[in-house]
Amino acid sequence: MSNQGYEEELRSERGYVAQLYARLDAERARVRGEYRTALRDHGGTAVERDVDVRALAREAKRLDVADNGLCFGRLDSISGERSHIGRIGIFDEDDDYEPLLLDWRAPAARPFYTATGANPENMRRRRQFHTRGRELSGFTDEVLGRPGGDAQGDAALLAAVNAPRGEGMRDIVATIQAEQDEIIRLDHPGVLVIEGGPGTGKTVVALHRVAYLLYTQRERMERHGVLVVGPNPAFLNHIGRVLPSLGESDVVFMTTGDLVPGKHVTAEDPPEAARIKGSLKMLDVLTAAIADRQRLPENPVPIELQDVVVRIDAETAEWARQEARDSGLPHNEARAVFTEIVTYVLTERAIARIGKGWLTRADKEAWEQLRGDLIKELAENDAFTTTLDELWPVLTPESLLAPLFSSAERLRAAGADQALLRTDGDAWTVSDVPLLDELVDLLGRDKSADRQAAREREREAEYAEGVMEILSFERHDMMDDEDHLLAQDLIDAADLADRFGQRDTRDLAERAAADRDWTYRHVVVDEAQELSEMDWRVLMRRCPSRSFTVVGDLAQRRSEAGARSWGAMLEPYVPGRWVYRSLTVNYRTPAEIMAVAGAVLAEFAPEIEPPDSVRACGVRPWSRQVCADGLAAAIEEFTREEADREGTCVVIGPPDVPGTVPASETKGLEYDAVLVVEPERILADGPRGAAELYVSLTRATQRLGVLHEGPLPQALSGLAEAERV
């Protein structure tokens, strides 16, 4: 295309994009107007109004994300049809809703990502736009169906991967590659495992898959939402913009330490304790620990009633305990069975003594009257209640687990390893979270708390009824019959419930995050190789349909409780319902840096092939040996130099080196420049250390440096040695 032809095409495309933005702005104004009207409208019930308001709020959010790069390309078919591709769909209401802009997830948009010179899929041209905000600055064309022609299809991709990193992960909606698109659109109802080495884009592919599923299965998914589980808060913050930028907000982001509502746990156990807690063998330990709290009295316990003294002996408690256990109910709910048996025995004994000589079973009415009086007296007897609490206490997950971990005797009684012993029982770690969650089901709810909540609701209902009576106006108090008003004219029952009840105004993500029993329609698990068997039990409970996108890299596993194979971890939960896909192209890490990281990988996981880098950066990674006194100055020099450059940087090193962050806190993140400090000390931490070093080296997109005080590990001998400090 001549330069003049290009400029004419660019002006035409700019005009078309401007029309799209005009349509977008008009649609935004319409939705916002309807939203304001819905907020003021008092017609219909409160529930109906709430549904309307929430739907309009979601639509407003969807439209608000499209400002930056609304339209990012065009497809020209062999038959001459043109389709513009963008973040959302826009239709011409004046022309039978003809599409002006195709949503990137629509089936008709797929050739934009999958058509090639050898397989053009009936397409003649793929045009990729270069934009800044709303401004179209240029475009590149790829002519399809002519292998070896003037294709420039990699231009947009290379521009994206070479661009300086900003705050947070960016979506790849404009540059999805065919390998990635196949996974994003894969029609599989079970568990999809996406494995890929550093820089292959597995995380962002998983997030785009979520956006695709929400687009194609919105009715099924939007009422329950999607859960995204990541390795640490920094990672979740890093990826948090991707789905909102694609118009999706009904998503909950958590680490495994957040899966029990009300807790935000980040501390980690030593490797051996983490391995033990992550094993399914802990189920037997928890069951035994609960059984250990279901006690028998060493000596008969006297209970003084008004007319008689009765005793709870070991025989009675053992019978009651066995009946409660045989009920199959969770511990707290089975307490009612235990209490019922003990109460029965004590009342029988009391009746036999009180009624001796005058009361027989033939006198049923008197017998039942006396029994009822004794049952009531026992329920109000402090000694009886205290004894029940000692023999069959109401337990919470915390009140069971904390004493267990702080007592060698309790650990022995539960058959647990003494490696779990700690001084502070409730100093919770990430490995404790699945145990606490498991105990919610094993212990069950405390029915007394439910009864208290029911009484509170009854009091609220009585109060609301009183308010209605006060608001009621008698006919003779009005000016005349025609002007008569009743309370119902001013406020309906739904409005009253809104004002005096506890109406939930939180959005879906807030409600889901706060509800332990919430179930999601789909779950994304990133860095999934780190999850234990017990972690997976928690997540399977959260998603009964077993619809998962699992993302990970076994070569990067650092947890002793994590996955060594996907089949071993998943097959027990979804036998035959999981599929595996791999990503083989490294879009983030340049070839120069990947060569260094690959040498480390070859030493600790020689069976794993590193991903192929799609580009080179032209900058060779370097190393510099420093003395102990020069380490801080060298780190400061690196950060000062990088501060003058565009982009991001990080210093990764052992936890005790000032100015560094551990590799575990950088998993899934990317930076323009990375400085790795003391690699020999990172590597010395066994198999986990090798994985940590591999992660550290593969965070950089442009520049990598290494500082070392001692000898450089053999695997890093390929680094260019800089001047010693």
Burial 351-389 (b: 16+ CB within 10 A, else e): beebeeeeeeeeeeeeeeebbebbeebbeebeebeebbe
Kindly tell me the burial class for residue 132, based on how many C-beta atoms sit within 10 Å of its own C-beta (0-12, 13-18, 19 or more). exposed
Report d(CA 123, CA 423) in Å as an integer.
Answer: 68
**Total Cβ atoms within 10 A of residue 510:** 12
CA 354 to each of CA 72, 307, 365, 375, 612: distance values in angstroms, whole numbers, following the listed order: 89, 7, 16, 14, 88
Annotated binding-site residue numbers for ATP:
196-203
Report d(CA 547, CA 567) in Å as an integer.
Answer: 16
For residues 541 and 436, the answer to whether their CB atoms sit within 8 Å is no
Report d(CA 347, CA 374) in Å as an integer.
Answer: 6
Query: Residue 722, SS3?
Result: coil
Going by C-alpha positions, the residue among 117, 115, 94, 112 that lies closest to residue 102 is 112
Two tokens, residue 613: 């880098």
For 307, residues 6+ apart whose C-beta sits below 8 A from its C-beta are 350, 354
Report d(CA 333, CA 509) in Å as an integer.
Answer: 30
Strands 82-86 and 90-92: unpaired
DSSP structure string for 263-304: --------HHHHHHHHSTTHHHHHHHHHHHTS---SSPEEEE
Dihedral angle sign, alpha carbons of residues 458, 329, 396, 392: positive
Two tokens, residue 192: 């999809």
Strands 548-552 and 578-583: unpaired
Residue 248 one-letter amino acid: E
The residue whose two tokens read 């589980």 is: 229
For residues 294 and 392, the answer to whether their CB atoms sit within 8 Å is yes
Annotated binding-site residue numbers:
196-203
For residues 670 and 701, the answer to whether their CB atoms sit within 8 Å is yes
